[in-house]
Structure 1
Amino acid sequence: MVIGRARRSEELGETLLPKRIALPIFASDPLSSVAYATQEILLVLTLGGLAYLHFTPWIAGAVVALMTVVVLSYRQVVRAYPSGGGSYAVVSTNLGPSAGLVVGASLLVDYVMTVAVSVASGVDNIVSALPSLADYRVLMALGFVGLLTALNLRGMRESGRLFAAPTYLFVGGVLIMIGTGLLRYLLGDAPVAESSAYGITPQKNDVDLAGIALVMLVLRAFSSGCTALTGVEAISNGVPAFRKPKSQNAAYTLAAMGIIAVVLFVGVTTLAIVANVHIADDPCRLTGLPHCAGYPQRTVIAQLAAAVFGGSHSFGFYYIQAATALILILAANTAFNGFPLLSSILAQDSYLPRQLHNRGDRLVFSNGIVALAVVAGLLLYVFKASVSSLIHLYILGVFTSFTLSQTGMVRHWNRALCTETDPVRRRRQHLARAVNSTGAAVTGLVLVIVLATKFTQGAWLAVVAATVLWLMMRGIRRQYDRTSAELAVTDPRQDSVPPSRVLAIVLVSTLHRPTLRALAYARAFRPDHLEALTVAVDQESLSTLRRQWDDFDIQVPLTVLESPYREITRPAVQYVRSVRRDGPNDVIAVFIPEYVVGHWWENLLHNQTALWLKSRLLFTPGVTVTSVPWQLSSATSPRRPIARAPGSVRRGEPPNTAKHITAHAASQPPDTQ
């Protein structure tokens, strides 16, 4: 009901995206960031009161210039690397695997932060419209993460159709608000924000700043405004999800995203200046505001909507708030698409568990989606869904990937120019190299600014998380490499030599039908030697077993191990290992009768000794363990059939009806794809 029926692998082509759906899927994050990017600039500048607000248009202009350079740079990336992977693929190819891992780790951390910040910001806008919901902030945030997870598990195309309408409604609504507000300004009836009458008390350390201190404040405001660039790289990671021609469609979508984001950001910032919006990190710094304690300040975009459309009870105000809250929450969908795609590529390169590369029932990377939801949900819970607390951990990873990917693209064009002879292509490559060189220089400078201004305010947590993730991925790769080297065939003839003998041991506790089936199954293998093994912890039970063994005339020798300390697992394992030591070229086949139950709670009553024995014997070289199941009536009773759609398959449905399961004790590869 939630995820939908399973889809066949052949249907993968039907999930590819046209540009009109790809835009809201991959660009909802940068488009929605206009709802808080301007606010973040104002929050920093008002640390010094109202004296530094005149820097707002200059900072906004710098952000727009930076966004233009980054969009142009990433258009080069999607054309040069149409197979996807974005910054990770570019950096790994041109700067080496270690640098590529830095980008991968940084982006994974930043995708988690995108979900947390976007959902928290969306909840903020809901609280701005309905202040009575402030106490349920965390609960609402976790609920929205769960909803996004379910929608994305249904599939990228289906979630895109659902997300397209809110994205386009938000863009249209904000454009109408900007147009209406600026038209009123030109006609002499400029909108006035509800906070324009309040002054702002500067913080003690931010009064009358000059020189380096003032520069640092402006740079800090600029770094906060750079949140408008988050998610720009998602399109370059998701090129394989586009319809053909993939790279061309991705480049067009990237250009459309850049143009819309710039127009919205410039419009909202201009309108905030015109409407004289005042906002502070602490409501009690707003002079003239009575009862400031616990006062829920409205967001910048909420104040603009109220000023333009005639108050906080107008239709336009509620429309903008609803559309903003929706797109901010859906902006997390950019990460829900980027994170699984990137983690799948990293898993394919053996830097993350291989399970992250597997597609789920709906042909999406389900494991990556669930992992992202869990980590983002934990962050929202720990930081109480506070945008102010989460925002400082944000955007550091984005600019790390920006800088390294543009540097990698410069090396890419340098190599291409060494072999290209066509003059027309050389001119294009020179122009592309110039664009990427500019992008590398500018984003590198911004990375230094962001690191310097945000490090002590919480960005160090993002640095630590990315470093730990980088080390973990290198460790995973080493483990996979060691396993592959160990399992590689070096001498096929030697590895194919059959064992000298096959010695079969059937573990027996009591003589019942499962035991007889296990003995019969072991005989069917025609081993060189067959024996039954029991561990005597109770002399009365042992006497009963021996009497039954003789009465039924079972032609299999019964070996009895005495256990004065009433242990079963250790004596049995030691005996098997001793047999193995006596014949190092032999294979010991251990057969264990097991019950198959129909209810989970029945497992608590049966098979505990068998599980312990298997877990110990699996680490013994030259020993195979075969479970011989006996289905109890609860497992074989007829059940009501489950209605399924034509052509669909049930999750976990076995490929055949074999009744036995064999677990080999020899070392197995880390995955069984």
Structure 2
Amino acid sequence: MRSEELGETLLPKRLALPIFASDPLSSVAYATQEILLVLTVGGAAFLYLTPWVAAGVVALMAVVVMSYRQVVHAYPSGGGSYEVVSRNLGANSGLVVAASLLVDYVMTVAVSVASGVDNIISALPSLAGHRVWLALGFVLLLMAVNLRGVRESGKAFAAPTYLFIGGILLMVVTGLVRVALGDAPVASSASYGILPEDGKDTVAGLGLLMLGLRAFASGCTALTGVEAISNGVPAFRAPKARNAARTMAVMGTTAVVMFAGITALALIAKVHITEGGACRLTGFPGDCASTPQQTVIAQLAAAIFGGDHSVLFYAIQAVTALVLILAANTAFNGFPLLASILAEHRYLPRQMHTRGDRLAFSNGIIALAVVAGGLLWLYDANVTSLIHLYILGVFTSFTLSQIGMVRHWNRALATETDPAVRRSALRSRVINAFGAVVTALVLVIVLLTKFTQGAWLAVVAALVLWLMMRGIRRHYDGVAAELAVDDPEAESARPARVHGIVLVSKLHKPTLRALGYAEAFRPDSLEALTVAVEPEATGELERQWTEAGVRVPLKVLDSPYREITKPVLAYVREHRRGSPREAVAVFIPEYVVGRWWEHLLHNQSALWLKSRLLFTAGVMVISVPWQLTSSGRAGGPSRRAPGAVRRGEPAPGSGYERLPAPEKV
């Protein structure tokens, strides 16, 4: 796609919802399950806390959605939390948010894909042994689709997202209707007993509070990806801010309804599920360690639609697995966009800001896929293991962005005099202040309850990323300062003299071409340079040089240790020390080959020598290519161009007509 076609990639709301909101919408598929997994450590006795924990998650989601709607209207240029915090709290705080979000986007891909694979295995248990390869295959598929462009990925993922929403709402409505008619669904695990973990059945007081808070922190996975819309406002059609805010409202409402419905039905159907490994379900057929438990969604679908062999059961499992895998698409859009903004601000390599041939940020997409795939491989695509590294970054960005928005409204109110605008700003400030307090509390809860279970790895990763981005910015700032032009006349001054050196290994066509090109440059002085690695070969070269009548002097550098690079570098540097105002132009004959394996057979010494010469001040390195037949072109024309001189002949007026014979150094 041409650069001018960027406007054609802008998204209508119906495509923006599955692209930017698939993560928070799909999170409801495992958020309830994560709450139950925590509460069942004490057996079934603490499941009565589930409604209260779920209510807290719903209230928090409402607060966060309302808060981010303010961000969308105040900062419609994109960047979301990073831009809000950078502008209002400073660059270092902005980098904290950026590092946290980048880590969380990676975790979004890993957790979403692993959870999707879990739902596939719930329907087809025979695939349990292929968990990791399935996960890696889905990551590659997501990467490939996103490389096709934002709009194309939206079209590909819209249908599964809407089918998931429709399927879950159908399941919730059907289940609640059955409850109203006195035919409440019963989960297959309702008859299983739950053995408490050692010492956890008598938890009370502070321990009970911590258990509830830990369950709340796990349930907050339902909020992951909420900020993605605020990062991607520029991708919406005009009016961008209004369309983004409406999409966020639809996303929040839909997610709350689905999460509340799934949680209510899980309690009504008496779903029992525990963490894998040491099985704590009594009456469970088989061994928990080898036989996977069905997910909460799978148990509800089987209970509501008539068993785990019904058509609707497989349909719900299919769309759930598909949307969980596609939920990673939120990260595949958010990560490259944020990385592009950071690269534009010189905190990440410039390549992250480059669009591919389909106008997608291809480098960011590929980087995300590689890192997320590595995590899935390292953690065996296990959701329970990965979930502990999750959501810490989300609430770090939530908290700092809401604090930044409070400062934003304070600044606006300091200069605004219109009563209507002031009332709107005051209302927005209250929303953001309340959001800052709530998300800060949740951040503390998540940190306390998940830190020792693996969340510390996410903290370390974010810290390393923060330090790396600061280092990249220092590098770019240093380069910019070093390259800045202070005195154009002095910087563009010509060197006093130019001394040309042609590197020679043999007297063949590439060497003669390099000599001809060097003479065409008309340096003030010119010489050929060879290194005596093998005395016999060097003697033969000198004989051929004299017989051919090449008038450019040949210097021979002695090399008792058979080195090529060091003698040449020493000679060039010595020449520079003797004539510091003189520039040295080194001409290197090189073969151009057409087959990949031929690169291994040619030019390795020339490549290494060239790389070393580039670090020598005042030295210009010029490659003179000779195209071999395999490159698709002949080495050079057989007839001389008009006015050309014969190879080895000095150019008229070049000053090389009477140069001395070869000299040893």
Q: Do both proteins adopt the same fold according to a TM-score greater than 0.5, normalized to the shorter chain?
A: yes
1:185 to 172, 179, 189: 179
Encode CA deviations 1:515-547: one digit per residue, 9 max, x unaligned. 111111111111111111111122322222222
- Superposed displacement of residue 16, structure 1: 0.9
* Distance in 2 (alpha carbons) for counterparts of 1:410 and 1:184: 46
Counterparts of 1:387 and 1:65, CA distance in 2: 25
* Deviation, structure 1 residue 65: 0.5
- Partner residue, 1:412: 408
Matched residue, 2:166? 172
**CA deviation map 1:437-462 (0-9, x unaligned):** 01000000000000001111110110
Mapping for residues 15-164 of structure 1, pairs under 5 Å: 15-164=9-158
Q: 2:517 aligned with 1:521, yes or no?
A: yes
Matched length? 632
Distance 2:319 2:212 in 1: 31
Asked if structure 1 preserves the Cα contact closer than 8 Å seen for 2:627 and 2:633, the reply is no
Supply the distance in 1 between the matched residues of 2:199 and 2:486 (Cα, whole angstroms): 69
Q: Give the match for residue 253 of structure 2.
A: 259
Alignment match, 1:292: 287
2:469 alignment partner in structure 1: 473
Q: Report how far residue 52 of structure 1 moved.
A: 1.1
The answer on 1:212 being equivalent to 2:206 is: yes
Contact (CA 8 Å) 2:42, 2:200: kept in 1 or not? yes
Shift of 1:208: 2.1
After superposition, give the CA deviation of every residue in 1:564-612 in whole Å (9 maximum; x if it has no partner).
2222111111111111111111110000000000111111111112112
Specify the code of the residue in structure 2 equivalent to 1:291: G
Q: Does structure 1 retain, via aligned residues, the 8 Å contact 2:298–2:317? A: yes
Per-residue CA shift, 1:377-408, capped at 9, x if unaligned?
Answer: 11001100000100000000000000000000
Q: Which residue of 1 aligns with 2:483?
A: 487
Aligned counterpart for 1:557 among listed residues 553, 562, 565: 553
Letter in 1 for 2:494: P
Tell me the residue number matched to 2:500: 504
Where in structure 2 are the equivalents of 1:274-289 lying within 5 Å?
274-282=268-276, 284-289=279-284
Residues of 2 paired with 1:124 and 1:550: CA distance? 78
Provide Cα deviations, 1:40-59, integer angstroms capped at 9, x if missing partner: 11111111111111111111
Is residue 237 of structure 1 aligned with residue 209 of structure 2?
no
Deviation at 1:290, TM superposition (A): 4.0
Q: 2:613 aligns with which of 614, 617, 620?
A: 617
What corresponds to 1:642 in structure 2? Answer: none
Q: State whether structure 2 residue 451 is matched by structure 1 residue 447.
A: no
Secondary structure at the counterpart of residue 505 of structure 1? strand
* SS class of match (1:82): coil
Q: Does 1:358 align with 2:354?
A: yes
Measured after TM superposition, the shift of residue 555 of structure 1 is: 2.0
The amino acid across from 1:288 in the alignment is G
Read off the aligned partner of 1:576 and give its amino acid letter: V
Deviations 1:121-162 (A, max 9, x none): 000000000001000000100000010010001111001101
Greater Cα shift, 180-189 or 522-531: 522-531
What is the distance in 2 between the residues matched to 1:219 and 1:588? 70
CA–CA distance in 2 between the matches of 1:288 and 1:546? 92
C-alpha separation between the residues in 1 aligned to 2:194 and 2:375? 31
Q: Deviations over 1:305-327 (max 9, x none)?
A: 00000000001100000000000
Measure the CA separation in 1 of the matches of 2:421 and 2:69: 17
Greater mean deviation of Cα atoms: 552-561 or 223-232? 552-561
Paired with 2:23 and 2:126, the residues of 1 have a C-alpha distance of 27
Q: In the aligned structure 1, how far is the partner of 2:282 from the partner of 2:632?
A: 75
Is it true that 1:342 corresponds to 2:338 in the alignment? yes
Matched to 1:437, the amino acid is: A
Q: How far, CA to CA, are the matches of 1:220 and 1:608 in structure 2? A: 59
RMSD: 1.0
Q: Which amino acid aligns with 1:243?
A: R
Alignment correspondent of 1:658: none
The within-5 A match list for 1:530-545 is: 530-545=526-541
Pick the aligned partner of 1:367 from 363, 367, 388.
Answer: 363
Distance 1:537 1:174 in 2: 77
- For residue 44 of structure 2, give the secondary structure of its aligned residue in structure 1: coil
Paired AA for residue 90 in structure 2: G
AA aligned to 2:174 is T
The aligned residue for residue 650 of structure 2 is none
- Structure 1 residue 364: deviation in Å? 0.6
CA deviations over 1:322-349 (Å, ceiling 9, x no partner):
0000000000000000001111111111
Larger mean Cα displacement after TM superposition, 274-283 or 426-435: 274-283
For residues 220 and 174 of structure 2, the distance between their equivalents in structure 1, rounded to whole angstroms, comes to 26
Q: Distance in 2 between matches of 1:286 and 1:606?
A: 66
CA distances 1:474-524 after superposition (whole Å, capped 9, x unpaired): 111111111111111112121111100011100111111111111111111
Any unmatched runs of 5+ in structure 2?
Answer: 635-665
1:197 and 2:191 aligned = yes
TM-score by length of 1: 0.93
Counterpart CA distance in 1 for 2:295 and 2:5 is: 44
Aligned-pair identity (%)? 72
Q: What CA distance in whole angstroms lies between the structure 1 residues aligned with 2:433 and 2:325?
A: 35
Q: State the alpha-carbon separation in 2 of the partners of residues 562 and 221 from structure 1.
A: 76
Structure 1 CA distance for aligned equivalents of residues 536 and 67 of structure 2: 82
**Shift in Å at residue 187 of structure 1?**
0.3
TM-score for the superposition, normalised by structure 2: 0.94
Corresponding position of 1:319: 315
Letter in 2 for 1:169: L
Give the secondary-structure state (helix, strand or coil) at the position aligned to 2:589: strand
Per the alignment, residue 573 of structure 1 pairs with 569
**Residue type of the alignment partner of 1:298:** Q
Corresponding residue to 1:633 among 629, 647, 650: 629
Do residues 13 (structure 1) and 13 (structure 2) align? no
Aligned to 1:111, the other structure's residue is in SS state helix
Aligned counterparts, 1:572-591, within 5 A: 572-591=568-587
SS at match of 1:533: strand
Between the aligned partners of 1:534 and 1:200, the Cα distance in structure 2 is 82
Query: 1:486, 1:637 → 2: CA distance?
Result: 41
Q: What SS is found at the alignment partner of 1:628?
A: strand
Q: CA deviation at 1:295?
A: 2.6
In the alignment, residue 228 of structure 2 is paired with which amino acid?
A
